[in-house]
Amino acid sequence: MMSVYRFLALLLLAFSVPTWAAEPAVATRDAMTHFFDANTGDLKAELADAKNANKKAVLFMYEQEGCPACIYMKQNVLNRVDVQELYRRHFVSFTVDIHGAVVLKDFGGRDITEKAYAANAKVRGTPTFIFHDLAGTEVVRITGAVRDVDEFKLLAEFVASGAYKTRQFAEHKQLHLKKKGG
């Protein structure tokens, strides 16, 4: 009789699907190719292109080589197709190496290295995400990796909707959590 129970237990185990296996796979692809836009180095021209394409803002991700939080963002958030599509719909996005020697033209048309551009923006840690409105004015800054994909999507909604004009992102998150929970 014991072997029947053992057989049934094994059968049940064999046909049980773990809960983690039931979750749908998330589509991903390379963040550098599909999240970030190709940067010509002329930020003034990029800003004009963003206006012409009816984007909501320009996003810079300030980074440095070997930054664990930057790597986390690229491998776990910016690589997701849903995140890439959301951000490409509303923004043009570029990386800036805080130690970089590449020369850019800033929004005023002046030549400046990536390193000097990051210093002028007072970037103190990486990653730092800075959104600029279509006049080139900084409107939102987030330093460090975001908590998760949902928070990064909420950040996109916060900027694209213009909610940053009336409240801080922390307040926006709290309002979102209240709506979601209530």
CA distance 127 to 39: 18
Does 17 map to a domain? no
Q: Read off the pLDDT band of 25 (50, 70, 90).
A: confident
Examine the pLDDT at 3 and tell me if it is beyond 80. no
Residue 178 identity (one-letter amino acid): K
C-alpha distances in Å from residue 21, one per residue of 16, 28, 95, 100: 10, 18, 35, 43
Examine the pLDDT at 182 and tell me if it is beyond 60. no
C-alpha angle 29-32-35 in degrees, rounded to nearest 5: 70
Type and span of the H or E element at 76: helix 68-76
Examine the pLDDT at 23 and tell me if it is beyond 90. no
Q: Are 24 and 58 in contact (CB under 8 A)?
A: no
Does 10 map to a domain? no
CA distance 144 to 125: 7
Does 3 map to a domain? no
Does 5 map to a domain? no
Domain that holds residue 36: 27-181
The pTM assigned to this predicted structure is: 0.85
Q: How many CA atoms lie within 13 A of 172 on its CB side?
A: 20
Tens of pLDDT along 29-84?
Answer: 999 999 999 999 999 999 999 999 999 999 999 999 999 999 999 999 999 999 99
Examine the pLDDT at 152 and tell me if it is beyond 70. yes
As a three-state string, the secondary structure of 77-137 is CCCEHHHHHHHHHHEEEEEEECCCCCEEECCCCCEEEHHHHHHHCCCCCCCEEEEECCCCC
CATH number for position 46: 3.40.30.10
- The predicted structure's pLDDT at residue 24: 67
Examine the pLDDT at 2 and tell me if it is beyond 60. no
Structure tokens at 20: 């983690």
Total count of domains within the chain: 1
Does 162 map to a domain? yes
Does 65 map to a domain? yes
Q: Read off the pLDDT band of 6 (50, 70, 90).
A: low
Does 16 map to a domain? no
Tens of pLDDT along 157-167?
Answer: 999 999 999 99
Does 2 map to a domain? no
